[in-house]
Structure 1
Amino acid sequence: MAQAQAQDVIRCQYCEDEPALFQCLPCGDELCSKCKVFHLKSKVPSGHKIISFSESLHASNIMKMCEQHPTKPYEVCCEDCQVPVCVICIEETHGKHNIGKMENLYEEQKASMVKELHQIKNQFKLQVVQTLTVAKSGKSMLKKSHETLRSRMSEEAKQLIDQITAMLNKTLQESKDDEEKEEAEISQYETKLEEFLQQLEEIIEKYINLTENGNPADLILYRQQNPHTVQNLTIPDRIEITPPSFKSGKLLDMTQIRFFQDKDSISESGNTCYHR
């Protein structure tokens, strides 16, 4: 067991005897305490950053190579352009710009993204979920209302002759057509809400990855490419769901059929109409 543990120790790449406790970020060399000093003396100090292995696990110490110059790592940030840059980037493009530490811009952008993440999760997502619930409930209510409407129409139609039966079939079909049309509108609205909810979930996942586990340069580049994420989020406009209504006696009026009715019946029926 002791022999196996000894084989797992990472050795210094210089002396190959002592365990490696440090790493040079630009070079990737793994060094012991003594060779660390030698490494710094033999290299240009300004171009090398040596940290302990425990520090190398932190996101702010993860080196990322420049997209424009793959052989050079991002070392600082252009404060004017709000992007990470390497030494060649500074010489070619950003020489007259204000250059600052990547850690400062990283912490600033991270704080902004954490704030927006909270807003997306607790405002946009919550509101969409609640609105989607209302829409689903409204569709169920609409269906029940149409079922009740058709039942009342059928009860009154039983008292009429063939003419009212034909009119009943017509109005039933109109009700079904209206129901299908309204359900289709709500289903389309649900789809928009679900798509927007999926968009929010993707943004939330992206923000979480960038703020908790992501590379600082990736976070900064994402912010530079997407500076108005929350401002561009627009919840689909709500649609109003109105149940249909039916007043007794309209089918009789539509067929122009009249029955002898007593005074109280006439008083109860009054003027009737059928509308949505």
Structure 2
Amino acid sequence: MAEASTPAQHYIECDDCERNSAQFVCKTCSGYLCEECKIHHESRKLTRHHEITQLKTEKEELLGLLHCSEHKTKKLECFCDPCKKPVCTDCIVLTHNGHNIKTLLTAYEEIRDSLQRTLEVIECTFLPKYCELLRSEDQKDLELRNQANEIEKEIKTYTQNVVGRVMEISKHAIEKLRMEEEYGRQELQKSKIELSERMNILQQTREMLSATLEAKPDISYFNSIDVSFLREIKALPIQTFYQFDKFKPGQIVQMIKDNFGIFPKLRSSNTLCDRSERRSRERNHQLILNRCLLRQHDRCDGTIFGLCPRRDAQIGTNRWKKKNIC
């Protein structure tokens, strides 16, 4: 198991002041120096002849500047493969004796190459594939929205057609109702005319009788007045009442609900229903509904749209429901 590296293994600071970042390295004493400490290092008698060079920033060269976190004066020179850890010579002798050891540069190059290969796989394989999948998901999302919008338009158009057919049936039913109403009113008008004529005869006869009674008696007083018609008038005409049966709504709502169509279901698999088969089923349902509506349109008193008011509710041979009174 690889152990986490400590900050001392990677952080390069001035070994003299331990405050500033190192810009130089003394190869003689293996010390890192900042600009200020380099000047002091070169001015001291004991260190003025040390070899000081610019601290290089190449990654491979920086490996030679890493020191062990456990043995501060030792440079990290090797890499313990089983422990996955950079080590110094003291670490090899004390805690990594017998382990598979390789140079730090070799381990660095192997890790670098492995990371580079992984990076290439991510950049050249995984990321393009996931980008393609993401674009595909965006396209599918757009297609799904378009499909839903198109189906919504179809449902609305279909609904308007159904409503239009129902409105036609309603219009036909109302027209038939008004025709029945007109017939009944005409019959009532005939009855009113007959009654008015009889009332006129009665009023004329009453006026004639009143005038005779009020006049002075003369020879005409003894002439008989023809009132034989009173026998006919005495028999009051049979009065007829007209009324409609109540409207009885049918089961068209449930019928439309049951036969409105096959509602689309969202499928998550790749085996979508064949469009031609789906359209064929939709046409069959449309034909069934149209036939029902046409049949209902032809006979308004059916049980689908509703039972329209009829006049033969009680008397089979008589088209009117009549209540006769003498």
TM-score after normalising by structure 1: 0.47
The higher-RCO structure (CA 8 Å, 6+ apart) is 1
Larger radius of gyration: 2
